[in-house]
Structure 1
Amino acid sequence: MSWTTSVGGHSYTFADLRELMAKATPARSGDVLAGVAAESAAERVAAQTVLADLPLAHFLDEAVVPYEDDDVTRLILDSHDPDAFAPVRSLTVGGFRDRLLSWQTDTAALTALAPGLTPEMVAAVSKLCRVGDLVAIAAKTRVVTGLRTTLGLPGRLATRLQPNHPTDDAVGITASLVDGLLHGSGDAVIGINPATDRPSTVRALLELLDDARQRLAAPIQSCVLTHVTTTLELLEQGAPVDLVFQSVAGTQAANRGFGVTLDQLREAHEAALALRRGTVGSNVTYFETGQGSALSADAHHGCDQQTLEARAYAVCRAFDPLLVNTVVGFIGPEYLYDGKQILRAGLEDHLCGKLLGVPMGVDVCYTNHAEADSDDTDTLLLTLGAAGCSFVITVPGGDDIMLNYQSLSFQDVLQVRSTLGLRPAPEFEAWLETVGLLDDAGRVPQLGPDALPALTSGLS
């Protein structure tokens, strides 16, 4: 199906849904690189005008990636819940935006709606939203998950403590781990990106983290972000795996570029569930995504990167994740050029994931060759906090010395929690109180070198 409309006396034609979605997307460098971006602001407005009048039900009739060619498309359409979709079936994309922003649309309504929405629907409505809209809608959308801590509750902002080390050195990792815990970080997960994918190294890191958890009696979950096939091997060996991790994307071909299939994810999910390592829940998967991953794998099928990013959340949703996060500025300025594009993409990703029922977090970050700085990360962190983000990623000093990019520091999250009145996950907060890491006002105290609590002696 094609559409034609006029803006400013000029006529614009969009040949199919894939082109319409791409041309309606707010400007970003990755779509220019892919050759799918609107050629002018006028063309973008024309596409958004057509998109606003498009019935939501059309997304069930026309796929942006063909059903017969792509297992992600098949997953999306085969798992669609028509009963959950019924309350919004008669709406256009523009009408859906109005419904989402309505005072009458509350958390319960959005939770019930999630199984009836497809990624393309939520990507489309996000393209019509201003930044304030993205925050307002996400703020009343809740996705609660749990393993040893409960994540996604109102008034909470959790953190992944990321103690990476360029040589996977146990002492260096432990130092970063202690630093993060002393700053109240780590309630979402202690997650290490290993410098090598060798099973022996990954197992040693898993055992280091699990030993720390037990010695500290801390309600935390750990993850070494290795490939799912390595995790499967270690599960068979009896390694202490809390969470199965994998980077995923929005097309079958892009996932093939990551070396992963839906069947492998299903097998690993079932194996981790069988361990029953949770205390407050049984969500045992962790996925990372990012706008531009499909384009970088030459697997984008002519689609815009934001629509494909939303499709990645359908993959995540199928495996009941504890955590999902977009590494929003990590892939580089070729895909998100500057702080403004990173800000918008982070808020789009967060909203789209939550509307689909996915527990979304964000790695608020940028690479050193991007046109971005710490003011941009401050802005994104504050808006995500206001939008009810489940978790963010933190590294010592905001500088990841292994992956060589800029993220958030432990102190950044303490500041935004204080500013917005947010707290850690409840089980982790209770543990912080037990070990003397919360003062009477619920803040992490400022501790000198001679006043460290018993925490550090537990890891000596």
Structure 2
Amino acid sequence: MRRRTTLGGHTYEFADLKALLAAATPERSGDVLAGIAAASEQERVAAQEILADLPLATFLQEQVVPYETDEVTRLIVDGHDAAAFAPVAAMTVGEFRDHLLDPGTDTTVLKDGLTPEMVAATSKLMRVQDLIAVARRTPVVTAFRSTVGLPGTMATRLQPNDPTDDPVGVTASIVDGLLLGCGDAVIGINPATDSPQRTTDLLHLLDEVRARYDIPTQSCVLAHVTTSLEIMQRGAPVDLVFQSIAGTQAANEGFGVTLDLLREAHEAALALKRGTVGTNCMYFETGQGAALSGDAHHGVDQQTLEARAYGVARAFDPLLVNTVVGFIGPEYLYDGKQITRAGLEDHFCGTLLGVPMGVDVCYTNHAEADADDTDTLLTLLGVAGCSFVICVPGGDDVMLHYQSLSFHDALYARQVLGLAPAPEFAAWLERMELMTGDGRIRELGADSSALRALTEGVR
């Protein structure tokens, strides 16, 4: 359905809902690359004006990707909870934005009544402070061996990648992270090769370290879901099943996955019953631009499609979901400003949909971004109540060749914002004499028993 408005003596017309959403999106290079971005700031304001007056119910009647040809759309539409939607069903997008910003609104009860397109549309009308204020009041708590997402906490994924999957290099990075209080969300390796044997070997290494020191966390080797299914059948110690996902069926097919395959993997992981304090056993990664990079975007803006990926994740009760916000490159998020905005949008949309959102605060070396930008986004996410962030030794991933956060960056955020690790992990850090009772990481001397214990297996 066409929509038009007159602004400043000029009439702006948008052919359909997806054209309106794209034009209303704050500028980002991916939408420009796709040829769907607003041609001017005036057109963007015109689109946002129309969007603000659009009834939320419109998103139940018009789909940006056809229901008949896309299983993600069918998942979203068929899973919608009309009763949960009823309290906001009469609102426009602008009125819903105002409702969310009311401090008296319980934002945690809305998730099943909202579609990804609704929350994406709302985020397009928000300033940075609005995204932070609402997300902060919308905690999403999940658990496996540690509890992630509790208010006042910020967990970390310890990412001990190695260019050759060398066990000594991986283990050294794990010890480095543990000594600095990282690893409570997951100790997760991106393998240099996706072979079942290599994946199994790395899982046994992680499980041995975890079991030796009785660490209340979970491990994951970020292999393809089909690899995880194969090795689970062989008895490999799989805690979390990982998969990259996107917001359209075509993009997910590009990743080699379907919803049925994810259901099979979820059931297989649940059957292992390896969790101790919870049963959330899936881990998903996403990123704005994923569908566009695979020519699977259907003319929809990248931020709306990113929110649809959270609609996929929500269906599988994951322990962790994170947007790898600057990883795909400047073709999709050009500079630090766009990366910062995208990270906060993703966190807002995910939490409002009931997804346990983390962020890989990162950028590629050919982007117009630097460590000041990652410091800014990390700090804002900490204020917004982000469930977890990803950390690598020195902030430099030597296997994937991009810049992320360091273990020390996580210490900074916890320190200045008064945030704690996951409670089970914090108690372990104290038992190991790695953290003081008031949350400070101890400086360990060469004669430290904790240091000796953690380093005895690294040669």
Which residue identity lines up with residue 401 of structure 1 in the other structure? V
Q: Is contact 1:111–1:141 with CA below 8 Å preserved after alignment?
A: yes
Paired AA for residue 144 in structure 2: L
- Residue in 2 aligned with 1:201? 198
Corresponding residue to 1:335 among 332, 335, 343: 332
Q: Is residue 2:302 matched to residue 1:305?
A: yes
Q: CA-to-partner distance for each residue in 1:286-316, whole Å, 9 max, x for gaps?
A: 0000000000000000000000000000110
On the 8 A contact 1:180/1:186 being kept in 2, the answer is: yes
Cα distance in 1 between the residues matched to 2:38 and 2:185: 38
Equivalent residue, structure 1, for 2:13: 13
The answer (yes or no) to whether the contact 1:215–1:458 under 8 Å persists in 2 is: no
Q: Please give the residue correspondences for 1:385-396 in structure 2 after superposition, counting only pairs within 5 Å.
A: 385-396=382-393
Give per-residue Cα distances to partners, 1:242-280, cap 9 Å, x unaligned.
000000000000000001111110000000000000000
Equivalent residue number for residue 176 of structure 1? 173
TM-superposed CA distance for 1:439, in Å, is: 1.9
SS in 2 for 1:179: helix
The equivalent residue for 1:40 is 40
Say whether the 8 Å CA contact 2:156–2:388 is kept in structure 1. yes
- 1:456 matched to 2:459? The reply is no
1:428 aligns with 2:425: yes
Q: Secondary structure at the match of 2:175?
A: helix
Matched-pair contact (CA < 8 Å) for 2:430–2:437: no
Give the letter for the 1:78 counterpart: D
Equivalent residue of 1:49, what SS?
helix
Q: What does residue 214 of structure 1 align with?
A: 211
User: For 2:300 and 2:92, how far apart are their aligned partners in 1?
Assistant: 21
Partner of 1:22: 22
C-alpha deviation, 1:100, in angstroms:
0.3
Please say if residues 140 and 351 of structure 2, whose CA atoms lie closer than 8 Å, have aligned partners that are also in contact.
yes
**1:440 CA drift (Å):** 3.8
Q: How far apart are the structure 2 equivalents of 1:97 and 1:455?
A: 52
Cα displacement (A) at 1:110: 1.8
1:359 aligns with 2:356: yes
Task: Using structure 1 for the length normalisation, give the TM-score.
Answer: 0.98
In the other structure, the counterpart of 1:315 is 312
Superposition deviation, residue 451 in structure 1: 3.2
CA distance in 2, matches of 1:28, 1:457: 45
Counterpart of 2:3 in structure 1 is 3
Q: Displacement, 1:457?
A: 4.8
The CA deviation at 1:7 is: 1.3
Residue 162 (1) aligns with residue 159 (2): yes
Name stretches of at least 5 consecutive residues in structure 1 with no aligned partner. none
SS in structure 2 of the partner of residue 349 of structure 1: helix
Q: Which residue of 1 aligns with 2:31?
A: 31
Measure, in 2, the Cα distance between the counterparts of 1:177 and 1:235: 24
Cα separation, 2, equivalents of 1:133 and 1:325 = 21
Find the counterpart in structure 2 of residue 99 from structure 1. Answer: 99
Matched letter for residue 182 of structure 1: L
Q: How does 1:373-452 map to 2 (within 5 A)?
A: 373-451=370-448
Q: Could you say which residue in structure 1 is the equivalent of 2:258?
A: 261
Secondary structure of 2:215's counterpart equals coil
Question: What residue identity is the alignment partner of 2:419?
Answer: L
- Contact kept? 1:343, 1:380, Cα under 8 Å: yes
Find the residue that maps to 1:122 and give its secondary structure: helix
Amino acid at match of 1:400: D
Alignment coverage as a number of residue pairs = 457
Is the Cα contact below 8 Å between 1:215 and 1:459 reproduced in 2? no
Q: Structure 1 pair 198/96, CA: closer, same or farther in 2 (3 Å)? A: same
Distance 1:452 1:403, change over 3 A: farther
Shift in Å at residue 450 of structure 1? 4.0
Answer whether contact 1:84 1:116 (CA < 8 A) is retained.
Answer: yes
* Kept after mapping to 2: 8 A contact 1:126/1:134: yes
Question: In structure 2, how many angstroms separate the alpha carbons of the residues matched to 1:225 and 1:313?
Answer: 18
Partner Cα separation in structure 2 for residue 41 and residue 261 of structure 1? 38
Question: Which amino acid is 1:313 matched to?
Answer: Y
**1:228-243 alignment, distance < 5 Å:** 228-243=225-240
Structure 1: distance between partners of 2:196 and 2:245:
21
Shift of 1:8: 1.2
Residue 447 of structure 1 deviates from its aligned partner by: 2.2
Using the alignment, how far apart are the partners of 2:55 and 2:326 within structure 1? 32
Tell me by how many angstroms 1:452 deviates: 5.8
